[in-house]
Amino acid sequence: MNVSPIYDRVERKLDEQRNRELFRTTRPFKSSDEIDLSTNSYLALHANADVIAMAKTLINDNIHGNLASRLIAETSGLYSTIESEIASWEKTESSLLFTSGYAANVGVIQALCTKDTEIYCDRLNHASIYDGIALSGAKLVRYKHCDMTDLEQKLAVSENKERLIITDTIFSMDGDRAPLENIAELAKKYNCMVMIDEAHATGIFGRTASGLAEECGVEDSIDIRIGTLSKAIGGQGGYFAGSTRLRDYFVNFSRSFIYSTGLAHSSLAYSLAAIRYIRRNLSVGRNLIDRAEAFRHKINKTGISTLTSTTQIIPCLTETKARALHLSAFLSERGIYAPAIRPPTVPDGSARIRISYHAGLTEENEKFIIEQLSAWKKSHG
Ligand SMILES: Cc1ncc(COP(=O)(O)O)c(C=O)c1O
């Protein structure tokens, strides 16, 4: 049998990954009493009895998938309900669901941008944004993380007509916030379109918990809002919220929308229930942020840096990959799961463990976590 040289490359790349302490594995399901600091279910709605009861009514025994791409057929009956509720929540004309936040970012950017477009992209934006840019063929202009002077300098020297600024609103690994007011001002001054990714803000920030754009009062300056159903909502899927004209355009030109089966009915039912719960219980996001802030202060008191986090995402900086793995293992031996995050997910020299602060943590859990972080810092810091 011929052995393709592709296998040689596969072996070589895997060896490289192991030698650089970057080898990744999927984590088997472990039903235990472990304290989970890895979840993106920030509001713990996946375990909320009211949400589960509401979801069961909406599922109505239909656990099947959508059974075709949405342009061929919609079999759920919940798509238009959830899309109109998301549009009403986001106060936009329309919304469009994708099968994940990843698919939403890739599909929207690929459809909208061409080689004639310049995309101004925060260095720390999510990988799905970079993948969408690569697929679109647009010119990538990376600006320093949240650095508005750098962004303006780059905009000022460009003569390109088609320009789009893209930023995460809450950065997934640093837990800091994009300066949306300044971005909106620069977009106006330099006639740019703006796209934001609210993945980690949806359901938590803003008066009606629709995201950071609402909290900053800049919704009207944003052309494209991307949200996920996979983080605070605890479900699966991603969405665009904005004008009907753009929705029509994405339905016609977003390849990740057109060539992929729609979300399962059961998944839509769960997400709809969770969104309705959040909209009726607006204090849950605010409470989470207040509790996360107090927790972060306690971590800082142990001497561990949490970088520039001001949200529920709390990095604990270890700098080296080896120390990140060590801290993660140290916690794991004590019943706490906090994943090590290493390059290329974060820049070299900024390895860390990432703590996802969430509503499922008890005071007792918090006390125990702080004690363990403090013990690690004293013995290995
Ligand atoms: C900022 C950001 N955008 C998009 C995504 C992708 O969302 P999903 O997991 O729904 O594909 C993530 C998930 O990690 C994210 O952190």
> Are 315 and 309 within 8 A, CB to CB?
yes
* Token pair belonging to 200: 């980690």
Q: pLDDT at position 1, please?
A: 64
Whether the link from the prior residue into 347 is cis, omega within 30° of 0, is no
For the chain, what percent of residues have pLDDT higher than 90? 89
What's the rounded mean pLDDT across residues 273-284?
97
Residue 118 has, within 13 A of its CA and on its CB side, a CA count of: 19
Q: pLDDT at position 74, please?
A: 81
Q: Which residues of 199-232 are buried (b: 16+ CB within 10 A; e: fewer)?
A: bbbbbbbbeebbbbbbbbebbebbbbbbbbbbbb
In whole angstroms, give the CA distance from residue 106 to residue 102: 6
Which atom of ligand 1 lies closest to the CA of 236? 10
Q: pLDDT at position 67, please?
A: 83
> Are 139 and 118 within 8 A, CB to CB?
yes
Q: pLDDT at position 31, please?
A: 64
For the chain, what percent of residues have pLDDT higher than 70? 99
The 3-state secondary structure of the chain, one letter per residue: CCCCHHHHHHHHHHHHHHHCCCCCCCCCCCCCCCEECCCCCCCCHHHCHHHHHHHHHHHCCCCCCCCCECCCCCCCCCHHHHHHHHHHHHCCCEEEEECCHHHHHHHHHHHHCCCCEEEEEECCCCHHHHHHHHHHCCEEEEECCCCHHHHHHHHHCCCCCEEEEEEECECCCCCCECCHHHHHHHHHHCCCEEEEECCCCCCCCCCCCCCHHHHHCCHHHCCEEEEECCCCCCCCCEEEEECHHHHHHHHHHCHHHHCCECCCHHHHHHHHHHHHHHHHCCHHHHHHHHHHHHHHHHHHHCCCCCCCCCCCEEEEEEECHHHHHHHHHHHHHCCEECCEECCCCCCCCCEEEEEECCCCCCHHHHHHHHHHHHHHHHHHC
**Which residue's CA lies nearest to atom 10 of ligand 1?**
101
Which atom of ligand 1 lies closest to the CA of 168? 1
Q: pLDDT at position 369, please?
A: 98
Tell me the pLDDT band of 26, cut-offs 50, 70 and 90.
Answer: confident
Write the pLDDT tens digit of every residue in 70-81.
998 888 889 999
Q: pLDDT at position 225, please?
A: 98
Q: pLDDT at position 370, please?
A: 98
Residue 33 has pLDDT above 70, yes or no: yes
Q: Check the CA dihedral 81-87-91-92 and report its sign.
A: negative
Q: Which of 197, 180, 213, 40 is nearest to 132 (CA)?
A: 197
In whole angstroms, give the CA distance from residue 368 to residue 98: 39
Query: Which of 128, 167, 313, when mutated, tests ligand 1's pocket best, judged by the most ligand atoms within 8 Å of its CB?
Result: 128
What's the rounded mean pLDDT across residues 331-357?
93
Strands 340-341 and 139-143, bridge-based pairing: unpaired
Residue 349 C-alpha to ligand 1 middle, in angstroms? 23
Cα-Cα-Cα-Cα torsion 154, 246, 270, 265, nearest 10 degrees, comes to: -130
> Are 171 and 306 within 8 A, CB to CB?
no
Tell me the pLDDT band of 112, cut-offs 50, 70 and 90.
Answer: very high
Residue 123 has, within 13 A of its CA and on its CB side, a CA count of: 12
Residue 129 C-alpha to ligand 1 middle, in angstroms? 9
Which atom of ligand 1 lies closest to the CA of 238? 10
Write the pLDDT tens digit of every residue in 357-371.
999 999 999 999 999
Residue 128 has pLDDT above 70, yes or no: yes
164-168, 220-224, 338-342, range with the lowest pLDDT: 338-342
Which atom of ligand 1 lies closest to the CA of 105? 4
Q: What pTM did the predictor assign? A: 0.95
In whole angstroms, give the CA distance from residue 118 to residue 55: 42
Residues contacting residue 172 through CB under 8 Å, at least 6 positions apart: 126, 199, 200, 313
Residue 2 has pLDDT above 80, yes or no: no
Identify the residues whose C-beta falls under 6 Å from ligand 1.
100-102, 105, 126, 128, 168, 172, 197, 199-200, 228, 230, 238
71-80, 102-111, 135-144, 223-232, range with the lowest pLDDT: 71-80
> Are 298 and 372 within 8 A, CB to CB?
no
Q: pLDDT at position 25, please?
A: 86
Which atom of ligand 1 lies closest to the CA of 103? 11
Tell me the pLDDT band of 60, cut-offs 50, 70 and 90.
Answer: confident
Residue 24 has pLDDT above 90, yes or no: no
